[in-house]
Amino acid sequence: MKLSQHIRQLARERHEHVVYLRRHLHRYPELSFQEENTARFVAQELDRLGIPYQTGIAGTGVVAMIEGQGQSGRIIALRADMDALPIDEANDIPYKSVHPGIMHACGHDVHTASLLGTAAILQAIRHELPGTVKLIFQPGEESVPGGASLMIAEGVLEHPAPALIFGQHVHTPLEAGKVGFYSGKYMASSDELYLTIYGKGGHGALPNECTDPIAISAQVISALQQLISRMNNPLTPSVLTFGKINSRGGATNIIVEAVDLEGTFRTMDEEWRAQALEHIAKIAKGIAEGMGGRCELKIARGYPTLYNHEALTNAARENAGEYLGPQHVVTLPQRMSSEDFAFYAQKIPACFYRLGTGNPAKGIRYPVHTNRFDIDESALETATGLMAWLAFCSLEKNPV
């Protein structure tokens, strides 16, 4: 039997167990950097599989090693994130979250269960692996500074150092059974903006005696949009969004003392990213001062642009077509959302691809980060088998 056929068979045989793993994780979600029980559950499964591991990396991270029998000494890494989101689940399903206000609404339960399923397959064929596979179960993808950056700081890409890394992410718009790839700059950087505009409060009927921070805020928001329309290269994707504005107190006839603004800036170019953040600070502070107020600004640096290594991603696309059939492999569009997997991609060749999980006929159409998100669990068989196959091909064919 060809190895690809053997992997397909193992993925089918383990599918029911991977569904159990995913449902357990979905039922007991934990927020970023609080994944203690999730990490214990992962460790228990690795114990069952006889795979050695380390725990407590970046708090709750787990790293495991599957050593093959090949002589190449080549090492690759596979990553899954483990954290959930602060969302109250609305699904009526047997495995609904038991923790009010916490839900696996971004599919990290799928990623973790899938990597455990992939681990089981690779452990079963370890005598045929021409190298070593490092498994990274990562905390805190959903919260800045991102678990990836912390795990890297604690040496996850060292001792031993992998030559490349794969990650996968659920994607409802893509039908279960399909996967998608994009070479090059795939996902945007993301930075969080926190502004407070201070003025001078007073009676709404006497604006001449006040400095209105709401009026200043309106000018700041409007002016900052020209950062995108007039200062940015139109060929560079960029987004500036203010999602929250709150005055401190107030009523219809009150001019308040201060207004808080919260927003996000995203782009596909790291040089422009640095320049834009400087412009944001200068423009906001300059307008506030020019109108008699004051602006305090905090920028929480988030995740960098996610760059999919061309040679690695192109090879992965071809290998996926060989495993699934080319009709099940699509080219993705760029996305302005962000992912802390980008930190790995800054260090070593990386490929971050999408796993189709949608099924409109079954009503599985809700996007990630919503309270009705769910998956077609047949996708778990695709997830486990394909990642195992990509791992083997990357060890054998040396794409980078």
What's the pLDDT at 397?
85
Asked whether residue 152 falls in the same domain as residue 48, the answer is: yes
- Domain residues for 27? 3-187+305-397
**Alpha-carbon dihedral 141, 384, 176, 33, rounded to 10 degrees:** -20
Asked whether residue 182 falls in the same domain as residue 318, the answer is: yes
Condensed to tens digits (0 to 9), the pLDDT of residues 192-201 reads 999 999 999 9
What's the pLDDT at 269?
96
Contact 258, 197 (CB under 8 A): yes
Query: Which of 271, 301, 331 is the last residue in one of the domains?
Result: 301
Asked whether residue 239 falls in the same domain as residue 358, the answer is: no
Q: Reply yes or no on whether the pLDDT at 360 is more than 90.
A: yes
Condensed to tens digits (0 to 9), the pLDDT of residues 247-284 reads 999 999 999 999 999 999 999 999 999 999 999 999 99
DSSP codes, 306-338: EEE-HHHHHHHHHHHHHHH-GGGEEEPPPBS--
Residue labelled with tokens 């999602």:
243
Asked whether residue 172 falls in the same domain as residue 318, the answer is: yes
Q: One-letter amino acid identity for 375?
A: I
List Cβ neighbours of 196 (8 Å cut-off, separation of 6 or more).
Answer: 258, 259, 260, 261, 295, 296
Task: Report the run of H or E that residue 352 belongs to, with start and end.
Answer: strand 350-358
Tell me which residue of 284, 283, 279 sits closest to 197, measured CA to CA.
284
pTM: 0.94
What's the pLDDT at 335?
96
Q: Reply yes or no on whether the pLDDT at 133 is more than 80.
A: yes
Asked whether residue 18 falls in the same domain as residue 156, the answer is: yes
Asked whether residue 183 falls in the same domain as residue 206, the answer is: no
Q: How confident is the model at residue 37 (pLDDT cuts 50, 70, 90)?
A: very high
Asked whether residue 129 falls in the same domain as residue 106, the answer is: yes
CATH number for position 380: 3.40.630.10
Asked whether residue 59 falls in the same domain as residue 135, the answer is: yes
Asked whether residue 292 falls in the same domain as residue 365, the answer is: no
Query: Which of 248, 277, 301 is the last residue in one of the domains?
Result: 301
Residues labelled catalytic: 83, 141
The whole-angstrom separation of Cα 336 and Cα 339 is 10
Q: How confident is the model at residue 72 (pLDDT cuts 50, 70, 90)?
A: low
Tell me which residue of 105, 110, 113, 114 sits closest to 32, measured CA to CA.
105
Asked whether residue 252 falls in the same domain as residue 340, the answer is: no
Strand partners, 355: 170, 179
Provide the token pair at 13.
């045989």
- Domain total for the chain? 2
Q: Reply yes or no on whether the pLDDT at 302 is more than 80.
A: yes
Query: Which of 252, 278, 301 is the last residue in one of the domains?
Result: 301
The whole-angstrom separation of Cα 339 and Cα 166 is 13
Mean pLDDT over the full length of the chain: 97
The whole-angstrom separation of Cα 348 and Cα 117 is 25
Contact 170, 26 (CB under 8 A): no
Asked whether residue 272 falls in the same domain as residue 343, the answer is: no
Condensed to tens digits (0 to 9), the pLDDT of residues 221-250 reads 999 999 999 999 999 999 999 999 999 999
The whole-angstrom separation of Cα 25 and Cα 110 is 8
Q: Reply yes or no on whether the pLDDT at 12 is more than 80.
A: yes
**Arithmetic mean of pLDDT, 200-207:** 97
* Residue 160: cis peptide before it, omega within 30 degrees of 0: yes
Rg (CA), the chain: 24
Tell me which residue of 345, 338, 343 sits closest to 313, measured CA to CA.
345
The whole-angstrom separation of Cα 245 and Cα 52 is 49
Task: Report the run of H or E that residue 45 belongs to, with start and end.
Answer: helix 36-49
Provide the token pair at 393.
């091909």
CA atoms within 13 A on the CB side of 143: 15
CATH number for position 200: 3.30.70.360
Condensed to tens digits (0 to 9), the pLDDT of residues 309-352 reads 999 999 999 999 999 999 999 999 999 999 999 999 999 999 99
What's the pLDDT at 1?
74
Asked whether residue 24 falls in the same domain as residue 163, the answer is: yes
Strand partners, 246: 260
Provide the token pair at 290.
């020019």
